[in-house]
């Protein structure tokens, strides 16, 4: 179980594509009904028309002072590198009343639907959806050639997930790999 302290403040998302940062997005909770938490919930993401959906609108680019945006980008990249992120991802944060960013999540596999946050950030950066998907694929191809074998990646993923680290003997996942 993971328990997080609630941090009152603005919620922002920093999209990462390759070594760069996409325009920062903010979740506007201005229309959230009184008495409801100002957080992104399952309903706000997946139940169109729900109170949570209507009360949490994405805004991209976020309206932030330049110094705050710079700090958010720096924190997002540092967190992304700390967890070994590569390719694409998103770092979700809250900005508290003192202006301090709090990391909520480092998401290495954010929703890639055309109407989802990462695609929205890319569009604001001038990257259309098809080009975004192509860039993500190219980043994956480049990563597969960086000297770490697929077998090593597979073993690491299995170890981190708690699953046995050896593939079944009858299944050669790495046939033809040098």
Do 24 and 61 meet the contact criterion of CB atoms below 8 Å apart? Answer: yes
Q: How far from each other are the two terminal CA atoms of the chain, in whole angstroms? A: 40
The pLDDT value given to residue 174: 46
Task: Identify the weakest region by mean pLDDT among 51-55, 137-141, 162-166, 168-172.
Answer: 168-172
What are the CA-CA distances from residue 153 to residues 122, 146, 174 (Å)? 28, 11, 11
The more confident residue out of 178 and 152 is 152
* pLDDT of 4 higher than 90: no
Q: Domains in the chain, ordered, with CATH?
A: 10-24+60-161 (3.30.470.20)
pLDDT tens sequence across 63-118:
999 999 999 999 999 999 999 999 999 999 999 999 999 999 999 999 999 999 99
pTM for the full model? 0.78
The pLDDT value given to residue 178: 47
pLDDT tens sequence across 7-53:
999 999 999 999 999 999 999 999 999 999 999 989 988 999 999 99
Instruction: Determine the Cα–Cα distance for residues 41 and 38; give it in Å rounded to an integer.
Output: 9
CA 23 to chain centre: 13
Q: What is the average per-residue pLDDT within 168-174?
A: 44
The more confident residue out of 174 and 115 is 115
């Amino acid at each position: 179980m993971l328990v997080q302290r609630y941090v009152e403040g603005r919620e922002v998302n920093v999209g990462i594509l390759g070594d760069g940062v996409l325009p920062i997005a903010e979740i506007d909770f201005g229309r959230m009904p009184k008495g409801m938490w100002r957080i992104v919930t399952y309903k706000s993401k997946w139940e169109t028309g729900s109170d949570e959906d209507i009360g949490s609108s994405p805004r991209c680019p976020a309206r932030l002072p330049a110094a705050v945006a710079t700090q958010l980008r720096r924190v997002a990249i540092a967190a992304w590198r700390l967890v070994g992120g590569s390719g694409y991802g998103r770092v979700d944060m809250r900005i508290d009343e003192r202006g301090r960013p709090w990391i909520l999540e480092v998401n290495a596999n954010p929703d890639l639907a055309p109407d989802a946050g990462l695609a929205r950030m890319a569009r604001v950066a001038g990257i259309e959806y098809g080009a975004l998907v192509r860039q993500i694929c190219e980043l994956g191809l480049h990563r597969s050639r960086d000297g770490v074998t697929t077998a090593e990646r597979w073993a690491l993923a299995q170890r981190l997930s708690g699953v046995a680290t050896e593939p079944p003997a009858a299944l050669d996942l790495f046939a033809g790999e040098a």
